Amino acid sequence: MKLFLLIIGSFLMGSIPCGVLVARAKGIDLKKVGSGNIGATNVLRTTGKWPALLTLAGDILKGVIPVAVGRYLLNDLTMEGIIGLSAVLGHNFSVFLRLRGGKGVATSIGVLLVFSPKAALVTVVIWLAVIFFTRYSSLGAIVSFGALPLTVYAVDYARERLTISLMMSALLMLRHADNIKRLIQGTEPKIGKRA
């Protein structure tokens, strides 16, 4: 029962649409501008740097808090991972947005910060490096989370972590299917391009 409640609570916390709320405070309907995505990248394009940073922080915390609570109450690595995945799924399929949502990058990073801090550090470094050199936020996410299972295996191996990282990576790749198509076609917008 405790695990069930934590999974539900994690999904609900993940469902909080931080980007939508931040943009709405600026009088912008985030779902109708830019890419229509609710994440920090679209907030940056449509609303500005500080709202984007606030959205990023909120989305990361949606991953950090449930996993930290799960660790405190359950002390079970597999259960922590399941709770973390629930938060990511909540972000991706928000109950407050009729089961629509974002890509889950920032929330996944938040999960990793507690679930595997070493892997989180490597993932963030790869993510930022790819963005720096290419200016594509989506490519940074695709490369860094595509490499996540290898990262976990190399720097923080445990069978439970590897299993969860494979699931997290697969989920993120599925959510970036359209981005992958646009990257191949050369139509994916770069960071810094205003909507």
Which residues, including other chains, have CB under 8 Å from residue 163's CB and lie 6 or more apart? 78, 81
pLDDT tens per residue across span 42-54? 898 888 899 999 9
In the chain, beta strands by DSSP E: none
Which residues, including other chains, have CB under 8 Å from residue 184's CB and lie 6 or more apart? none
User: How confident is the model at residue 191, as a pLDDT?
Assistant: 82
Neighbour tally for 32: CB within 10 Å: 9
User: How confident is the model at residue 194, as a pLDDT?
Assistant: 58
User: How confident is the model at residue 79, as a pLDDT?
Assistant: 96
Across the chain, which distance is largest between two alpha carbons, in Å? 48
Domain segments of the chain as ranges: 2-185
What residues of the chain score a pLDDT lower than 50?
none
